[in-house]
Chain A
């Protein structure tokens, strides 16, 4: 069963704009992870946020976590065409399960 659900399903923006994707999950977690997938390729790990953290940064990425609402958001600032990809959240105690992803299109 899928633990996380991303929202929106698809997002289209212009280069330079910020992109925000949300993830909701169902059960308690230790950590939550975000991954990126370029079209048809293997997923690549972006960032892990622990359940006792509220916010984490990595370059142009900012992740927030609200365990009371069972939700997380991924913000990509100053988007580039190269950020075009699908983004997935993932969590799970014994085995990692993924949501269906948000497809981000960044137009030049």
Chain B
């Protein structure tokens, strides 16, 4: 089944404790992206990747890191999480970037930083 998977689905952590949210897709997509969703703010893009070893900042990259060593994986790293990073996070993939392509979303990761 074609899908985007994220792990963990739920995470409660403390300020400053490094964490990684994994994202994997099995559709051989070139493009992958991370979003955060907050009430009243909609979806805001954190980072995106057009291909392996190519990553770019989105609208809200501060406090986050990503890597794209393999085509299928695009982990999101919070080196020192803070409470303002409490949010619902989505990974997405598509055959290419931009509005030519439908994006496929993962189920989301709900992160709480205390």
Give the interface of A toward B (CB within 8 A).
Answer: 1-2, 29-33, 35, 40-45, 48, 88, 90-101
Contacts and interface: CB of A to CB of B under 8 A. Distances in A.
Q: Is the interface of A mostly helix, strand, loop or mixed?
A: loop
B100 A30 contact: yes
B42 A93 contact: no
Interface of B: 4, 33, 35, 40-45, 48, 56, 58-59, 88, 90, 92, 94, 97-108, 110
Contacts, number: 72
B24 to A, nearest CB: 14
B75 to A, nearest CB: 17
A32 B99 contact: yes
Contact of B42 (A41, A88, A91): A88
A100 B97 contact: no
A68 B48 CA distance: 30
